[in-house]
């Protein structure tokens, strides 16, 4: 088993896909055989150059047909938005697909497209799997893992804290709606709010893993405003506009709130916020209320060189990539974390 290798294609080279290129180039378990890009400037470049490492010998192409025709065990599919028909085409071409872009668990919102994916897996005789950091790990695998050591669960809370200016790409400031007037922000769709159905997949996976049925999932949104201008490299979040946001999604079981996810995103410290929310550092935290009440924190820490950049994109990519051997070796179908069981990541000790 340890000598088995997997030929992989990297589909798009954004923040997550570049982690894929670096990992496939470095981990001898994988053989990078193709790279698809969208950006014309990247076409013809060595994938290593795109991902900030030495040459890989694999040149990026934007020719989808040539990638679909290529022989490979798996496509690591990380486009900006998943296209289900494209995924089905890849599956029917006989390649397993592992993605960070959606379809983490067959929740009710994804029933129709889920059936399409299952049919394509059956036709191709291969498997589909989605993973990441959240959704796909922090709100499903981690609480299920923590649940193994408790005897009763009354409530499970999953917190995601992101200090946006320090730990996220700067383009996320506008994208997340910071700097908007508060009433407008609260009345318009938000990018995280639109993600509710994706986060809910983790809730449904968690509920399935615990053997309970979710009645419904509800959403709440609050915002805090800046008490002074917040300057950043791309501009300024003006005083009086949204500088922090708190999304809360609650899954009820038997009429009671059982699973609560909070996404706490801020651009500043409590002394510059109204109300003065203190979310603390960027992290994920799982809190089980029950017997015994128990918590678990996932956070980036400094390496031996004293340096630390928030590993969000590494976690996202590796959460999915480490499942590739198990997905390729699994029987055909849409395999989620519950189907795969305990993943045994390969080639990490090298």
Ligand X SMILES: NC(=O)c1ccc[n+]([C@@H]2O[C@H](COP(=O)([O-])OP(=O)(O)OC[C@H]3O[C@@H](n4cnc5c(N)ncnc54)[C@H](OP(=O)(O)O)[C@@H]3O)[C@@H](O)[C@H]2O)c1
Rule CB under 6 A: which residues touch ligand X?
Answer: 12-17, 37-39, 42, 78-81, 100-101, 132-136, 316
> Is the CB of 37 or the CB of 87 nearer to ligand X?
37
DSSP 156-168: EEEEEEEEHHHHS
Name the nearest CA neighbour of 294 among 160, 149, 142, 159: 149
Number of other residues whose CB lies within 10 A of the CB of residue 137: 22
Q: How far is the CB of 30 from ligand X (least distance, A)?
A: 18
Compute the CA torsion angle 127, 132, 135, 140 (nearest 10 deg).
80
Biggest distance spanned by C-alpha atoms of the chain: 59
Q: What's the token pair of residue 144?
A: 């299920």
Output the smallest distance, CB 59 to ligand X, in A.
13
Q: Locate all alpha helices (DSSP H) within 162-217, ordered by sequence.
A: 164-167, 172-175, 182-187, 191-194, 196-210
CB of 90 to ligand X, least distance (A): 15
Question: Smallest distance, Å, CB 80 to ligand X?
Answer: 4
Q: Residue 13 or 250: which CB sits closer to ligand X? A: 13
Q: Least distance in Å: CB of 79 to ligand X?
A: 5
**Given the complex with ligand X, which of 247 and 272 has the nearer CB atom?**
247
Q: Which one, 134 or 180, has the nearer CB to ligand X?
A: 134
Q: How many CA atoms lie within 13 A of 268 on its CB side?
A: 27
If the CB atoms of residues 16 and 273 are measured against ligand X, the closer one turns out to be 16
């Amino acid at each position: 088993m340890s000598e088995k290798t997997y030929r992989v294609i990297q589909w798009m080279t954004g923040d997550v896909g570049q982690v894929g290129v670096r990992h496939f180039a470095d981990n001898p378990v994988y053989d990078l055989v193709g790279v698809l890009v969208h950006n014309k400037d990247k076409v013809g470049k060595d994938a290593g150059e795109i991902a900030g490492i030495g040459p890989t010998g694999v040149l990026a192409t934007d020719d989808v047909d040539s990638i679909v025709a290529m022989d490979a065990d798996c496509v690591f599919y990380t486009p900006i938005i998943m296209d289900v028909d494209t995924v089905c085409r890849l599956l029917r071409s006989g390649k397993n697909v592992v993605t960070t872009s959606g379809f983490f668990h067959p929740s009710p919102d994804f029933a129709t497209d889920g059936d399409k994916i299952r049919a394509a897996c059956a036709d191709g005789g291969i498997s589909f799997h989605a993973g990441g950091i959240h959704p796909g790990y922090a709100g499903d695998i981690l609480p299920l893992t923590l649940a193994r050591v408790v005897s009763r669960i009354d409530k499970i809370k999953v917190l995601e804290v992101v200090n946006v200016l320090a730990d996220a790409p700067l383009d996320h400031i506008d994208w997340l709606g910071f700097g908007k007037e508060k009433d407008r922000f609260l009345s318009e769709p938000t990018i995280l709010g639109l993600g509710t159905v994706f986060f809910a997949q983790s809730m449904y996976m968690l509920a399935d893993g615990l053997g309970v049925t979710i009645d419904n999932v509800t959403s709440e949104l609050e915002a805090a405003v800046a008490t002074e201008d917040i300057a950043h490299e791309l501009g300024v979040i003006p005083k009086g506009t949204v500088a922090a946001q708190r999304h809360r999604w609650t899954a009820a079981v038997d009429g009671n709130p059982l699973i609560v996810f909070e996404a706490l995103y801020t651009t500043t410290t409590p002394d510059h916020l109204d109300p003065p929310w203190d979310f603390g550092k960027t992290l994920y935290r799982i809190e089980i209320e029950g017997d015994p009440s128990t918590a678990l924190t996932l956070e980036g820490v400094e390496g031996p060189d004293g340096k630390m950049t928030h590993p969000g994109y590494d976690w996202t990519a590796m959460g999915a990539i480490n499942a590739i051997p198990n997905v390729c070796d699994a029987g055909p179908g849409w395999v989620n974390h519950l189907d795969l069981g305990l993943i045994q990541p390969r080639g990490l000790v090298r």
